Amino acid sequence: MNELKRLARVHDEDLAGQASGAGARALLASITAEEPMPEPARRGTRRVHRLVLGAVALGGLAAAAVVGPTVLGERGTATSYANSAIDIELRGDTYVATIKDPFADHAKYTEGFKAVGLNVNLEVVPASPPWVGKIAGMSLSGPLAPNGESIGSGTAPEGCTIGQDGCAITVTVPRGWTGWAAVRVGRAAEPEERYRNLARATRKGEMLEGFQVDEKTVGEVLAEVRRRGLKAVFQVITPAPDFDGYGVEQDKQQAEVGDDWIVWEAESEQAGVVRLLVTKDRLPKNPIYGGPKPADTDD
């Protein structure tokens, strides 16, 4: 038995219903493309007035303070809000949400945005190091703000390093934005905690940075994995009939993956562990991308 067969595989319960196509992967890649944060052009300059409205208790947790004018348009009345997990404040033309507790129930973050009239569903999720403090996934609907700006992320104080004392993740939303959003922001993972962002393990800052895995055999990739002191788990994928997309079938995850199987992508699973997306046979084209894998760039 080779060493590969003794390594853990992706759990069945994590695979149910998963499917992907080249178009979906391309859209996800564009949404989660790695950018320097805070993102540029996220702030504007519209006027705002303030009036203290008071404070209320939140289920025995920290008090939530709401500050705002009597009327501030259709989206709501508050210009600031605070609970045990998040502080939100309107600064100029931008709502700045400071995440005080990155391990809180995500409903607390969404509660804060709702209080200031924003339909933002925010989750703070364990992420691979390059994505800590950054937007690791986002779904949007509805129009952008009048100045064309959308949702961004950063740190407070600006430019600090996440993980250092006094450094917090921030999320910015233009005041004039009226859409709906589901946003995932990365936080540092706890020991042995699985990442919840989808990151190519070959990109800058990831565990297999600079190494080409696609269309190599499992044995070839494992040699590099071991050389870097890492481990691997496997996700056996089922290509679409035209090889333009793939699915994941639970019953195939128990297959004995051999060194001659083919790797189509590597993703960051958790600290020290990469996930290899594999098929038993070599295919005419990469089913994950419907063709050649895009270059690993920093943008």
Q: What is the pLDDT of residues 80-125, one digit of tens each?
A: 999 999 999 999 999 999 999 999 999 999 999 999 999 999 999 9
| Count of other CB atoms within 10 angstroms of residue 42 | 19
Q: Is the pLDDT of residue 144 over 90?
A: no
Omega cis (within 30) before 157: yes
Helix, strand, coil shares of the chain as percentages rounded to 5? 15, 30, 55
Of 25-34, 254-263, 290-299, minimum mean pLDDT range? 25-34
pLDDT of residue 20: 54
Q: Look up residue 231 and give its two tokens.
A: 């481990």
Cα-to-chain-centroid distance, residue 249: 24
User: Could you tell me the end-to-end alpha-carbon distance of the chain, in angstroms, rounded to an integer?
Assistant: 41
Element (H, E) at 101: none
* Whole-number Cα distances in Å, 160 to 35, 71, 96, 163: 16, 36, 16, 9
Take residue 213 and report the two structure tokens written for it: 């895995």
Confidence at residue 76, expressed as pLDDT on a 0 to 100 scale: 53
pLDDT tens for each residue of 188-240: 999 999 999 989 999 999 999 999 999 999 999 999 999 999 999 999 999 99
Q: pLDDT by residue (tens digit) across 67-76?
A: 433 233 345 5
pLDDT, residue 157, reads: 94
pLDDT bucket at 298, cuts 50 / 70 / 90: low
Token digits of residue 237: 């994928």
CB 189 within 8 A of CB 127: yes
CA distance 123 to 184: 5
The residue-averaged pLDDT of 15-21 equals 49
Q: What is the pLDDT of residue 49?
A: 28
Q: How is residue 257 annotated by DSSP?
A: -
Tell which wins on pLDDT, 145 or 57: 145
**229's torsion region: left (phi>0), alpha (psi -120 to 50) or beta?**
left
Say if residues 213 and 223 touch (Cβ distance below 8 Å): no
Most confident option among 37-41, 71-75, 219-223, 288-292: 219-223
For residue 290, give the H/E element and its range: none
Say if residue 163's pLDDT is above 90. Answer: no
Q: Is the pLDDT of residue 29 over 70?
A: no
Output the DSSP codes for 198-211. Answer: --BTTSTTSTTTT-
Q: Which two tokens stand for residue 137?
A: 């996934």
**Model confidence band, residue 4 (pLDDT cutoffs 50, 70, 90):** very low
User: What percentage of residues in the chain have a pLDDT greater than 90?
Assistant: 64
* Model pLDDT, residue 21: 56
Average pLDDT of the chain is 80
Q: pLDDT band for 264, please (50, 70, 90 cuts).
A: very high
Would the pLDDT of 46 be above 90? no
